Amino acid sequence: MKAQLNTTDSNIATPIKEWSKLEVRAVVRFLFSKGKKPSEIHKQIAETYGEDAMSRSRVYQWCTWFGEGRTSLGDEPKSGRPKTSTNEENTTRVDELIRCDRRMKIREIALKLEIPKSTVHEIVHDTLGYRKASARWVPKMLMEDHKLQRVEISQRLLQRCQQDNGDEDTTYIGVGPGGNFQANNNLFDNLITGDETWVHLNTPETKRDSMTWKHPSSPVTKKFKVQRSAAKVMATVFWDAKGVILFDILPQGQCINAARYCSTLDRLKEAIRRKRPGLLRRGVVLQHDNATPHSANLTQRYGWEILPHPAHSPDLAPSDFHLFGPLKRHLGGMAFDTEDDLISELRNWFDNLDVDFFRVGINSLLSRWQKCIDLHGDYVEK
């Protein structure tokens, strides 16, 4: 009985579960060299390694190759262009092209180097980490003397704001890029800033403001390009850390000159007397840009301190970097039939602004001055 069991067990073939392609191919070569037919070789391969080890057609193919004299068991190199996404030479060549021309497109790089666009895309984005970005518009190309002036004025203003911690005449404003500042109450409590801006009766909504949420299956929305209306008004706004002091509209047919600006300052003086009692006695500190009407000799008759302002620097003027931007975005998509309707909307918008909005705008001068110094006079973006 025992001998019968041993004989039976020896006739049972146990398939090999773990194998490699090279091992199976070596067995095919061995059996083929012994004169076995491809059909018989496939049968033995299937019994020994399983049906998935090598198909019948594949066994015939390898037998043909071995019959033609092939000795290698590995895969032959595939035809076509080799994968070059990790090729150090191509990576270097792509990087050199981009550094020579930052506007070069993926398609142009692929044609120039004669490699697939998908490979160039992988090198540019994954290996080199490049990202396309639009240039940011700035008011003017600053020369070195402009930058130097911006730094010097910012340093002077910061030095005026920095006080000893024990000074009773100081108030903590906050932490900026350059550290902690103690802002003199007399400066920021007495500071009034103002400027002019054009406001159109029809202000198109920007593409960014018109963005909406959508599902992947939702249709793409369309937005027609609309031009700003030719009809517009010149608005002049003076404000401080507590809110708007004077909102003035330039009459049609007039222009901003020294005489007209002095007329506006006369109305500003009366508005200060009504809305900010005691400020005229303490001393007004006026912050405006150095446009010709603003810097004329006629404007010096009020005896107010004029805060120094570097040329070509809207990024250091609170009206430009804090007030007018949100105003134009609010008006985006609105159309008014008359100037009176537009003016009424402007007044409502100013009246509904929270006092913190104005306080943040004035206090942000500190961080902007410091950023201007840190950037060696370049424009402050945010």
Looking at the structure, tell me whether residues 149 and 233 fall in a common domain. yes
Whole domain around residue 119: which residue ranges?
100-133
CB 307 within 8 A of CB 287: yes
Q: CB-based contacts of 224: which residues, under 8 Å, 6+ apart?
A: none
171 and 52 part of one domain = no
pLDDT of residue 186: 66
The reported pLDDT for the residue numbered 281 is 92
Helix (H, G, I), strand (E, B) or coil at 163: coil
Q: Are residues 153 and 276 in the same domain?
A: yes
Terminal Cα distance for the chain, rounded: 93
Instruction: Tell whether 278 is covered by a domain.
Output: yes
pLDDT of residue 1: 40
Total domains, the chain: 3
Domain assignment present for residue 72? The answer is no
Same domain, residue pair 60 and 165? no
In a domain, 49, yes or no: yes
Q: Residue 335 has which token pair? A: 């159309």
179 and 308: one domain?
Answer: yes
Q: Do 205 and 274 fall into the same domain?
A: yes
Please indicate, yes or no, if residue 45 is contained in any of the structural domains: yes
Question: Cβ–Cβ contacts within 10 Å for residue 342, how many?
Answer: 24
CA neighbor of 157 nearest in space, from 361, 325, 316: 316
List residues bridging with 200 in a β-sheet: 232
Predicted local distance difference test score (pLDDT) of residue 298: 83
Domain boundary pick from 90, 109, 133? 133
Phi then psi for residue 245, to 5 deg, are: -100, -40
User: Interior CA angle at 296 toward 314 and 150, to 5°?
Assistant: 35
Per-residue pLDDT of the chain in tens (382 residues, 90 and over written 9): 444 444 444 455 577 878 888 888 999 999 999 899 988 999 998 888 888 888 888 889 899 888 888 888 887 765 555 554 447 888 988 999 999 988 899 999 999 888 888 889 989 988 888 988 877 777 888 899 999 999 999 999 998 887 533 444 444 344 333 334 444 456 888 999 999 999 998 887 776 766 777 767 777 777 666 666 678 899 999 999 999 999 999 987 788 899 999 999 999 999 999 999 999 999 999 999 989 999 888 888 888 999 999 999 999 999 999 999 999 999 988 889 999 999 999 999 999 999 999 999 999 999 999 999 999 999 998 7
Asked if the structure places residue 79 within a domain, the reply is: no
Q: What per-residue confidence (pLDDT) applies to 376? A: 94
The reply to whether 166 and 293 lie within a common domain is yes
Q: Tell me the whole-structure pTM to 2 decimals.
A: 0.63
